[in-house]
Chain A
Amino acid sequence: MKSFAELLDRLAYTPSRNDKLSLLADYFASTPDPDRGYALAALSDGLFFRLPLRRILTELIVPKVDPVLFDLSRDYVGDTAETIALIWPGGAVRGKPPRLAEIVETLQSAHSTKVPALLAGWLDQLDATGRWALLKLMTGALRVGVSARLAKTALAEWSGVPLADIEEIWHCVEPPYSELFAWLSGTGPRPEVGTRATFRPLMLSHQIEDRELQLIESKDFVAEWKWDGIRVQAAHQGGEKRLFSRTGDDISGAFPDVVDSIPEGVVLDGELLVMRDGEVAPFNDLQQRLNRKSVTGAMLKSHPAHIRLYDMLFEAGEDLRPLPFIERRTRLEAWHRAHSPRRTDISGIIDFSSVAELEALWAGARETGIEGLMLKRRDSPYLAGRPKGHWYKWKRAPLTIDAVLMYAQRGSGKRSSYYSDYTFGAWRDGEAGEPELVPVGKSYFGFTDEELRELDRWVRNHTVDSFGPVRQVEPKLVFEVAFDSVHRSNRHKSGVAMRFPRIHRIRWDKPAEEADRLETLAAMIVE
């Protein structure tokens, strides 16, 4: 438990992705089975204990600590579990602290009435960091800035086995992952995928560059719309139905409507959308259904999900991935005609004879839900990752407005000495009719390192007030902000929320009074 606690502690304080990978790789290399496997499970959200933890903790702490002192401490620390970890009377530690595996296995099998006594015993044996890590583990949410994908990436870096290979067998292995670690360390065979519904790494595209665009010919490439949802993989094999995100997270629980409609024997690639009466709803509507473990009946009715299919990877157990795209496409269409599963349709192929024609088509496309164009080589097999020269995306030129910098916040990690996160605003009329700025968005990228240094200097020289890590600046600097779309939002004072805003250009030259008004932004809202 000590090394797991130290790992969590370091991860929680380490902002850099590469440093996190290095900490994880070190841990996997130096920790024996089954502890490292349970750690991997905890980090990749695979461990859940159904425990009334809040009640258990209250029961444990009340006889130990004066409630007045506990409350004063809780107010200072700001987190109940951390307060308990810190306040638990230490020093009575006897015997060796428990191993992570011992804790996990005991919790998985123990009757819930036995848990308080077990927990008290462990807390006595652990130090403050260990107690904090144990309570984190038991809540089931570590919140140390590690996604399942980052944990898998660390496995890949540590073992030298490609990430795509790990992702492919991921859903066939289970905590404590001894079989997986044996394979990764070269002492065991590759875990058997068999006929189960497991994630197959997706094929991804490159942003097309102008010179590449000129080489596109319709005899080699087909074009499709790029839909504005999230890329998913739907699988129904061996009696299991699953829906995976593009990073291999199992999101079946949030989308029972589409999962139910997948017929047996296939693995499909498509775009998950919310659709009403055959129309794609704005991305915001899909957002309402993401990041939930389950979904309410009302939500299923008001935000019906749908998959617009792009590709087929397996049919009746046959692996279609080695086939050329155009053959897979034919199989997909035939299969769809035969089964016509509900809540799915096929993303259409766009006929074109020249790039110029394609460009005109695209410029005229105003349908909602279109994010850009995809260009796919007719003879490409389905390859994991982002292979060069096969699939291209051609995204719509972004929307832009000129906004005024209002607040700057210190960044994290390498940027912690820089004011690198910018909140910008648009003009509107205040209550007395005078122009005032209202914040419309926040962004921390789009500029070069050199520009960051200049911006940092500008912020420090134009500060009018500061609140902890945030500085309010004179409303004098204009940013040309690029964004993909803008939506209504009740959570923001301005009533609008931008999608994917980035600093497109710094308009050192432009007077702030000439920046855009809120009405300009509001006019771009997609209803």
Chain B
Amino acid sequence: MVRNPNTLQSEVANYGVFRDLFYAADQKMRPDRFDTWLTVDRKGLYCRPGGFHIDPDGGAKRAVVTHGHSDHARPGHDHVLATAETLAVMRTRLGTAARLGTQTLAYGETLAIGEVSVTLLPAGHVLGSAQVLIEWKGARVVVSGDYKRSADPTCAAFELAPCHLFVTEATFALPVFQHGDANEEVAKLIRSRERFPERAHVVGAYGLGKTQRVIALLRAAGYDRPIYLHDALAEYCALYESFGVRLGELKAATGAPRDELKGEVVLAPPSAIADRWSRRLPDPVTAFASGWMRVRARARQQGVELPLVISDHADWRELVETIAETGAEEVWVTHGREDALLRHIQTTGRRGRALALIGREDEDQ
């Protein structure tokens, strides 16, 4: 079963993967040659006939932003186009979403930008997350942003859009990642709470999206006790509620007396669960809600006692099935474990390419 890693690398290199290619601005654009009109420059993915970037690095003239996570929604753009929810997230996190102006585009509405038309479609990743559908001279391109296919009560469900080129994420692109039913993971948390009623259960969860999803899943499982929050999470929860996502009773964990937290569920950013902040909690069981928790070494590395495999990204099967369902003949892979996904794309007879966008490595949640 053990193979020579060099053999493996050369196999991957032969799939027709082109990395770090910069295209001259005067190259003639052809709709059927996607790399002539969708290029990668130092700020990221750029649509030439539309004159905008998608999820660029800071300081772009015009940016279409798929969702509010910090590796996609960066500060300092002149103009930003996004869903109302994403713009609200950007304002919460950055103070302001753009330097000069913002434009809201609702799911399913189409807007002409330069020579192209742009439609935002739900990506199912977090509140407001969108795929970007770009149409130009009959060619349809979908940039997925981050997405998932499984149910999430806190955001609109992924909507499939047939296309010629699909630009996909690949965070969990290894066949070992099969996320399973998030309800079962939350049931595990509830059972553990019953088994250790004297201990707090501190759940590490990314502040935007994962936190609210875990809360919503707990509520759906009939858990109606107050849920305690690390200060860093409260703002996003309030934002979700302002968009009509009901989270039930939430309390601040930071000022709460130690005894009050016995037997309670406390949510905190992953960086806080096994650090000084958590010492205020009574003998906490350390849980972590993340797709990475499927791999034992990852959970152990972080000192997690109760790993909860709850992911806001597509797992291997969702990635593979989505690629097939879009009907795309060409697939670009933006960030994550692109080697494995490109291998799969190649074996199914499609053209594949790794975009290797800067700064998108191994997003942690």
- The residues of A with any CB-CB pair to B shorter than 8 Å are 10, 12-15, 19, 22-23, 26, 58, 61-62, 65-74, 76-80, 82-83, 86-87, 90, 127-128, 410, 412, 414, 416-417, 468-469
Contacts and interface: CB of A to CB of B under 8 A. Distances in A.
Contact of B175 (A69, A79, A412, A417): A69
B234 interface: no
A68 B299 contact: no
B19 interface: no
Contacts of B344: 66, 69
Contacts of A79: 296-297
A47 B340 CA distance: 38
Contact of B176 (A12, A19, A62, A87): A87
Contact of A77 (B176, B300, B306, B347): B176
Given A80-B1, A417-B274, A68 B8 contact: yes
B139 interface: no
28 contacts: A10-B306, A13-B300, A13-B304, A19-B196, A58-B1, A61-B1, A66-B343, A68-B12, A68-B340, A69-B174, A69-B340, A71-B2, A71-B8, A73-B174, A76-B176, A76-B295, A77-B295, A80-B1, A82-B296, A83-B176, A86-B178, A87-B175, A87-B176, A128-B178, A128-B294, A414-B283, A416-B286, A417-B278
Contacts of B6: none
B137 interface: no
A417 B196 contact: no
B241 interface: no
Interface residues of B, number: 40
Nearest to A460: B276
Given A72-B340, A417-B274, A417-B275, A15 B295 contact: no
Contact of B195 (A22, A74, A87, A469): A22
The A interface is mostly helix, strand or loop, or mixed, namely helix
A68 B11 contact: yes
Contacts of A76: 174, 176, 295, 337
B343 A68 contact: yes
Interface of B: 1-3, 8, 11-12, 174-178, 180, 192, 195-196, 274-276, 278-279, 283, 286, 294-297, 299-301, 303-307, 337, 339-340, 343-344, 347
Contacts of B347: 66
B253 to A, nearest CB: 15
B337 A70 contact: no
Contacts of A72: 8, 174, 337, 339-340, 343
Contacts of B307: 13
Contacts of A468: 301
Nearest to A453: B279
A86 B196 contact: no
Given A69-B340, A127-B180, A468-B301, A416 B174 contact: no
B175 A65 contact: yes
A69 B297 CA distance: 19
Contacts of A12: 296
Given A58-B1, A70-B1, A128-B180, A417 B174 contact: no
Contacts of A128: 178, 180, 294
A468 B278 CA distance: 19
B185 to A, nearest CB: 11
Q: Which 5 pairs, one residue from A and one from B, show the smallest C-beta to C-beta distance?
A: A86-B176, A416-B303, A416-B274, A73-B176, A72-B340
B17 to A, nearest CB: 14
Nearest to B195: A26
A2 to B, nearest CB: 11
Contacts of A22: 195-196
Nearest to B303: A416
A71 B6 CA distance: 12
A83 B174 CA distance: 11
A62 B174 CA distance: 16
Contacts of A127: 180
A20 to B, nearest CB: 11
Given A26-B195, A86-B295, A417-B278, A69 B1 contact: no
Given A86-B178, A417-B276, A412 B303 contact: yes
Given A70-B175, A82-B295, A417-B275, 20 more contacts: A12-B296, A13-B300, A13-B304, A14-B305, A26-B195, A67-B3, A70-B1, A71-B2, A77-B295, A83-B176, A86-B178, A86-B294, A87-B175, A90-B178, A127-B180, A128-B178, A414-B283, A416-B274, A416-B303, A417-B279
B1 A67 contact: yes
A58 B304 CA distance: 31
A82 B279 CA distance: 33
A460 to B, nearest CB: 9
A417 B339 CA distance: 36
A417 B176 CA distance: 30
Contacts of B283: 414
Contacts of B276: 417
A90 B294 CA distance: 14
A77 B178 CA distance: 13
Contacts of B176: 73, 76-77, 83, 86-87
A114 to B, nearest CB: 23
A469 B274 CA distance: 11
A15 B296 contact: no
B51 to A, nearest CB: 38
Contacts of B306: 10, 13
Contacts of B192: 10
Contacts of A469: 301, 303
Contacts of B11: 68
Nearest to B199: A19
Contacts of A417: 274-276, 278-279
Contacts of B305: 13-15
Nearest to B294: A86
A450 to B, nearest CB: 14
Contacts of A416: 274, 286, 303
Q: Which of A61, A68, A127 has the most CB of B within 10 A?
A: A68
